Amino acid sequence: MKKIKFQSLPGMHDILPEDQKHFQRICKTVEGVANFYSFQKIETPILESADLFCKSTGLDTDIVEKQMYTFRTKGGDYVALRPELTPSVVRSYIENGMQSLPQPVKLWYEGPCFRYERPQAGRYRQFHQFGFEVLGDKSPAIDSQIIQMSYDVLKELHFKNLIIEINSIGDSECRPYFKKNLSNYLRSRRSSLCSNCQRRLKQNPLRILDCKEEKCQQIKTDAPQIMDHLCENCHDHFKQVLEFLDEAEMPYKLNPYLVRGLDYYTKTVFEIFENTPQGKEQGALIGGGRYDNLVKILGGRDTPGCGAAGGAERIANILKTKELKPLKVKEAKVFLAQLGNLAKKKSLKVLEEFRRSKIIVAESLSKDSLKAQLRTANKLGIKYVLIFGQKEALDGEIVVRDMESGSQETFELKNIVAEIKKKLKKLK
């Protein structure tokens, strides 16, 4: 009898005990950041209707055209192993009536995905993805928060020299006009494009901007830029996102050719890299953007959304040379209530200062009413509420309310972390 030697399938891999600590570290870090920003975990099935991804991710994307694992069940259903999680999360949001919950709904996840593609370093046919999704809020503050969280995860994992590449790809109002201009430009250079992009020219010319082939890279450098064609709404939204990032002192650069490879994106798109030649070769560590039409496309009410995802294998391969301490998750005793646009913009930096000091602070960036925010803080059993309004933002001050006694004190904003540390120390 011939001896059979079984091996894992091409592109599939075992996560051995010595590598588990890196995956656990990634998951703990993501969970720690998610808990800080009040995101709740969601798990969706690995197997979904194939049409879910065809309709959301896009028929002309590489994922749907070439990479999905699809098959017919014994009952005749056309199903797919999920190639990503955002459509699954949105499907769950609609199916489970989350649109009737207080908005926005903030969710995070981690789990395996499957794509049939050429195996290479850091890229597998079964891989693990983590991510954050916010549904039900169109504010630019949410875009900025998703970017901040993605950046925080990588910083917590001891990545250095990070750079955020960011762009706006507009919406259904301004994008069609840009696509027409781009198509006209590319048609005159069709013969110089790679074979894939010659096909994309008819189906989705925007995706040519995402091509990594050298010949296409050269052509796109002189292509029209969507930033020059944004409608007023998209322009204002993107301007505010950048203002939030400026206030939070985030390292970013504009990339007018960044479009991401999925059809559902609108307005903000971003990717985070290590700002080194090797980092660019490795590819984006985390990427995402806004998808304001996806819930409606999948049969729900018109609902804005924004999210980001990262590949655990790619990050774990880099972590193998690092020794990192385990994370601890604490309950929040402090709540930041903000009022007005200026305070909102400055709030991200205030929250980041508390995060760096390992002080958990709850918040509700999407709410403007002080009464509603105090009610939320009360439900959470918060001891101290930081009240940060327009006047305080202008004066460089912040008010601290003791939720038990109702007494209030005003402190200089620059000293607030130290003052809260003193108060929390007395509680122990």
Render pLDDT for 215-264 as a digit per residue (tens, 0 to 9): 888 888 888 888 889 999 999 999 999 999 999 999 999 999 898 867 78
pTM: predicted TM-score of the whole model, two decimal places: 0.83
Give SS3 for 58.
coil
How long a stretch of residues is the chain? 428
Instruction: Indicate the SS3 state at residue 173.
Output: coil
d(CA 423, CA 352): 19
In this prediction, residue 1 carries a pLDDT of 67
Confidence (pLDDT) at 169: 93
Tokens encoding 115: 């794509």
Q: pLDDT at position 327, please?
A: 45
Strand partners, 398: 411
Stretches in the chain below the pLDDT threshold 70 = 1, 59-61, 121-122, 261, 322-330
Residue 328 is predicted with a pLDDT of 53
Q: Is 340 helix (H, G, I), strand (E, B) or coil?
A: coil
Q: With residue 203 as reference, give the H or E element that holds it.
A: helix 195-203
Closest CA to 211 of 246, 171, 259: 259
Q: What is the DSSP letter of 3?
A: P
Where do the domains of the chain lie, and which CATH numbers do they carry? 17-174+230-319 (3.30.930.10), 334-427 (3.40.50.800)
What pLDDT is stored for residue 323 in this prediction?
Answer: 62
Spatial distance between the Cα atoms of 7 and 4, rounded to a whole number of angstroms: 10
Largest CA distance in the chain: 84
Q: Return d(Cα 315, Cα 313) in angstroms, integer.
A: 5
